[in-house]
Amino acid sequence: MKDLEIVFKGKKTHLKIGGEGETILILHGWQSSSENWKKVIEILEKKLRVICPDLPGFGKSFSLEKKWKIKDYVEWLEDFVDYFNLNDFYLFGHSFGGKLAIKFSFENQKRIKCLLLCSPSVIRPKLGINQKFIVFLAKFGNFLFPKKFFGNLREFLTNVFCFLFLRNSDYCKAKGVIRETFKEIIKEDVFSQISNFNLKTVIFWGKNDKITPVEHAFLLKQKIKNSKLEILEGLGHSPHLEDPERFCRILVENLE
């Protein structure tokens, strides 16, 4: 495995690459990078050619100058796949990377041998009473302090709100353009677009996932006709970090 930096369309992308043979392209989750997939790459490169980029805005790849929508990430991914001339390859996506992989596959199914999804963030959970109250507070605050007139104060109050109510959320961990990008990403409804999706798909889901509930796995399995579901006992949202050896073994078994 080695680290590379490539430049296309004037932008630098950092990636890890290793191994030979059939290619698997790994798309990491939100607020992550290829570094978190290092152990998985070390295991998989014994059997496959593995490519894992830092997605734009994360890791050592270029920073975003303005907020992106999911379509911007898809366009970047199309350029990345073209750069490496990838065809008939395995596309793997974790969490946000899974959402991106699905969206990319809608227009590029013929290029993909099999879609591999690990806890993709494509279904928005139903809000409980506490969460609904927090959303109400946030909307009320936005109404009281419109960004046009209260830019700096609003940013300060947003940070206070995050600390009090949402300190561990991806939204509050993000800052500036990445926070605005996150808001655009979660707006995109990918799940409702999957009905006519026929690409061979394997879905992996940690049974103890606290971020994307395991119930969503069965809904996704039902939605994607040509799919198989692997429930990972004893693992949570990040099986690649919790038990990379077992995760890779189950992953490779589903490639055969």
- Do 70 and 162 fall within a single domain? no
The amino acid sitting at 229 is L
- Phi, psi for residue 22 in degrees, rounded to 5: -65, 145
**Beta-sheet strands, E only, within 97-216:** 112-118, 201-206
- Do 61 and 170 fall within a single domain? no
Q: Give the torsion sign (CA, 32, 38, 41, 43).
A: negative
- Do 180 and 59 fall within a single domain? no
Residue range of the domain that includes 98: 2-122+190-253
- Do 135 and 210 fall within a single domain? no
Buried b (16+ CB within 10 A) or exposed e, 152-191: eebeeebeebbeeebeeebebebeeebbebbeebbebebb
Query: In this structure, what CATH number is given to the domain that contains residue 48?
Result: 3.40.50.1820
pLDDT score recorded for residue 47: 96
Q: Are 111 and 89 in contact (CB under 8 A)?
A: yes
- Residue keyed to tokens 């409804």: 189
Locate 74 and state its tokens.
Answer: 């898809």
Interatomic CA distance for residues 16 and 139, integer angstroms: 41
Q: What is the pTM of this model?
A: 0.83
Angle at 29 between CA 103 and CA 129, to 5 degrees: 90
- Do 93 and 153 fall within a single domain? no
pLDDT score recorded for residue 179: 86
DSSP structure string for 227-251: EEEEEETT--S-HHHH-HHHHHHHH
pLDDT in tens, the chain (256 residues): 999 999 998 999 999 999 999 999 999 999 999 999 999 999 999 999 999 999 999 999 999 999 999 999 999 999 999 999 999 999 999 999 999 999 999 989 999 999 999 999 998 655 444 433 333 344 444 544 455 444 454 444 444 434 443 444 554 555 579 988 988 998 888 888 887 788 999 999 999 999 999 999 999 999 998 999 999 999 999 999 999 999 999 999 999 7
- Do 228 and 140 fall within a single domain? no
pLDDT score recorded for residue 31: 92
- Domains: count for the chain: 2
- Do 116 and 199 fall within a single domain? yes
- Do 142 and 194 fall within a single domain? no
- Do 35 and 106 fall within a single domain? yes
- Do 21 and 138 fall within a single domain? no
- Do 141 and 112 fall within a single domain? no
- Do 222 and 139 fall within a single domain? no
